[in-house]
Structure 1
Amino acid sequence: MAKSRQALQEASSILPLPEYCMTKRLLTVLLAGKVRICCGNRVYLQVGRLRLRRLKNLIPFTGGAPMRAAKIAGVLMSLALSGTALAETPGYGQQLEGFAYPHPLLKFPFDSQGQSLEMGYMDVKPTGKANGRTAVLLHGKNFCAATWEDTIKGLSAAGYRVVAPDQIGFCTSTKPEHYQYSFQQLSMNTHALLEKLGIDKVSVVGHSTGGMLATRYALMYPKQTEKLVMVNPIGLEDWKALGVPYRSVDQWYERELKTTAEGIHAYEQKTYYDGRWKPEYDKWVDMLAGLNKGPGHKIVAWNSALIYDMIFTQPVFYEFPRLQVPTVLMIGDADTTAIGSDIAPPEVKAKIGNYKVLGKQVAQMIPGARLVEFKGKGHAPQMEDPQGFNKALVSELQ
């Protein structure tokens, strides 16, 4: 990466605008059509969906001494041959084969709805002084167990055993052709895993869709739930009751088949990170895009569609007052996530996904709930500010 950056800096410091424009055809051919060049007051180079995002994605070329076309081509060809900046989105297997998890990936085989299934999960021992407690981390819809990497590190250092499963239909777990998805079923699957591991009591931490699942788990297994923590959970409102149109499973499926890395990046930057982006997020885009690009992309898209239908039609919102366990809401207040906002009428879209308001409202609905707000953070505060998030989480779990 350092050599790639150096090559770009060299080009940007000596490349004059007129001559660069004249070499457009040559460079486009050399880089197999992956160059997009805009000539004008400034010139920009973009190479595919490249990992050049790590180099700010668009590199300005602002002039300098004259440069021969061959030298320009040579600089950019060396960049291409480095393989670092020009790598395309990888394609991963149906169960995310090929993507590296931060801890050993284990498998839990079990039978459900007449099928033999398996859940991928990580079971991480404490790295700090063991406190005898366990935290189970439940991922969101566009996330995997692996995206809890920094949270696992923080909890493990604080003495917790950490279990992070991939739910059925997600990431490293089975994606059935037919499955009656419900938060109750996913809760039962998670409970079966914990029973198999000999874990009687847990602190349940759920993010995004995992927050809805964590709520359902706490409602079903209050005696096994030591504490419930919801991190920017979706489901703090009932979108369909607020006027968001229904999308059929078939419509979700057609939408999911069109998933691309560019689309994931654009959506997450706008909705999850309030317009910001860090290089660390790139691998999570590659994870999702690679899963949707791989040989199992159709079954991945089908399960995704079934899961979206579950999320939209099975609200937990009305049951928040029934929670009987100590509950903490951890909310990045710049979050704007709302299922179906892309097809909602303008007047509906304007009033959904306002986490600055939703967090406070739901905290009032849950008996004895605590609210921890991360000012200016988006949908994933555990990824935007791992250190600050871990400090707050460990404090709330004590």
Structure 2
Amino acid sequence: MKGLSFLILSSGIVLTPALHAEQPPTYGPHLEGFSYPHPLKRHEFSSQRQPLFMGYMDIAPTDKANGRTLVLMHGKNFCAATWEETIKVLSEHGYRVIAPDQVGFCSSSKPEGYQFSFSQLAHNTRALLQSLDVEEVTLVGHSMGGMLASRFALNYPESVEQLVLVNPIGLEDWQAKGVPYASIDELYQSELKTDFDRIKGYQQKVYYDGDWKPEYERWVTMLAGMYAGEGKEIVAWNQAQTSEMVFTQPVIHEFDKLEVPTVLLIGGKDRTAPGANRAPKEVAERLGDYPELGRQAAAMIPNATLVPFPELGHSPQVESPDVFHEALLRGLDG
């Protein structure tokens, strides 16, 4: 009979009907089972005495090539696949687009023991580009990817034509502002509790100012699927390690040393501030003020242009693609 949540057989056994269609999907530790918008390639290399690989997409222009290569750097709670619409727009405007997953994230290696640092990830990314014979790029970094793109530009300025930072985290030094340190072991225990509802709740509150749209669900499902899969422990461990990296390796203090033209695309309703949940209330309330943080960062960077999105949050490329891409293309044109 339709509508019954269970069936009771004459033997007394209770059978729960299959609900597979309603269950969120699970993915392997390297996002096995998730469909990327373009063919996923693999860059294999050795780092810290172990074999590793980076998954990446390399998309040729679909219109007349303009000779420029853009590298899209994902955030901590995102993957290269999240750039799907941005890749389409950029390739249609003549750009070659390379979108890697960093070691420890998404389709790339999940090493058990690895000293994560932004300099190491920048070095890995530069080696990937060298393997593709790419000498000069424009970096587009979102969220944590903004911290990585900044470090890349600081370490290898000769390889960077332009820097675009999309709601980068690290526009403030949380530890210096009074956020307590959390060990990797503590962070790991917290990461093990991660699931679809926790990811969605956090993103809805912090990223999108309480709003939610159905198109956001895919990216929550992408992340939650790795935490629900057979590789949950190593996924959680790498996430804990990289959370500690984000907290202890600020780049804001070196913004005045950036030599490349920089565009800051800042959603004003963003309130992202790693560690705010463990900070005293009076400290937490002062964190993540992106309108002010964007202005301060633009003043620090020698050749910076600030483009505010007052009504958007942490992920303008997901929340309002048309508005974001119009601003991005304008910024790329200088």
TM-score, normalised to structure 2's length? 0.95
Paired position in structure 1 for 2:285: 350
Aligned partners of 1:306, 1:318: CA distance in 2, in Å?
22
Deviation per residue, 1:94-115 (Å, 9 max, x gap): 1000000000000000000001
Deviation per residue, 1:33-61 (Å, 9 max, x gap): xxxxxxxxxxxxxxxxxxxxxxxxxxxxx
Q: Secondary structure at the match of 2:45?
A: strand
Question: 2:68 matched to 1:133?
Answer: yes
Paired position in structure 2 for 1:77: none
Question: 2:38 matched to 1:103?
Answer: yes
Paired position in structure 2 for 1:292: 227
Please tell me the residue identity of whatever aligns with 2:218.
Answer: K
Q: Secondary structure at the match of 2:276?
A: coil
Query: Which portions of structure 1, spanning 4 or more consecutive aligned residues, are displaced by more than 4 angstroms?
Result: 80-84
Paired position in structure 2 for 1:314: 249
Q: Secondary structure at the match of 2:278?
A: coil
Question: 2:156 matched to 1:221?
Answer: yes
Paired position in structure 2 for 1:117: 52
Q: Secondary structure at the match of 1:284?
A: helix
Number of matched residues? Answer: 325
* Structure 1 position 127, deviation (Å): 1.0
Question: 2:212 matched to 1:277?
Answer: yes
Q: Which of the residues 176, 197, 201 maps onto 1:241?
A: 176
Aligned partners of 2:4, 2:109: CA distance in 1, in Å?
42
* Structure 1 position 29, deviation (Å): 2.8
Paired position in structure 1 for 2:330: 395
Q: Secondary structure at the match of 1:361?
A: helix
Paired position in structure 2 for 1:148: 83
Q: Secondary structure at the match of 2:63?
A: coil
Q: Secondary structure at the match of 1:132?
A: coil
Please tell me the residue identity of whatever aligns with 2:278.
Answer: I
Please tell me the residue identity of whatever aligns with 1:29.
Answer: S
TM-score, normalised to structure 1's length? 0.80
Correspondence list, 1:37-116, <5 A: 87-116=22-51
Please tell me the residue identity of whatever aligns with 1:360.
Answer: R
Give the gaps of 5 or more residues in structure 1. 1-25, 33-79
Question: 2:239 matched to 1:263?
Answer: no
Aligned partners of 1:250, 1:359: CA distance in 2, in Å?
32
Question: 2:156 matched to 1:180?
Answer: no
Please tell me the residue identity of whatever aligns with 2:93.
Answer: A
1:28/1:141 Cα in 2 relative to 1: closer, same or farther (>3 Å)? Answer: farther
**Bigger radius of gyration:** 1
Aligned partners of 1:250, 1:313: CA distance in 2, in Å?
15
* Structure 1 position 130, deviation (Å): 0.8
Sequence identity (%): 58
* Structure with the larger helix share: 1
* Structure 1 position 387, deviation (Å): 1.2
Aligned partners of 1:176, 1:83: CA distance in 2, in Å?
31
Q: Which of the residues 306, 311, 314 maps onto 1:376?
A: 311
Question: 2:29 matched to 1:29?
Answer: no
* Structure 1 position 30, deviation (Å): 3.7
Please tell me the residue identity of whatever aligns with 2:223.
Answer: L
Deviation per residue, 1:45-99 (Å, 9 max, x gap): xxxxxxxxxxxxxxxxxxxxxxxxxxxxxxxxxxx98965xx2121100100000
Please tell me the residue identity of whatever aligns with 1:227.
Answer: Q
Q: Secondary structure at the match of 2:165?
A: strand
* Structure 1 position 327, deviation (Å): 0.5
Please tell me the residue identity of whatever aligns with 1:194.
Answer: L
Paired position in structure 1 for 2:270: 335
Paired position in structure 2 for 1:67: none
Give the gaps of 5 or more residues in structure 2. 9-16
Aligned partners of 2:20, 2:240: CA distance in 1, in Å?
34
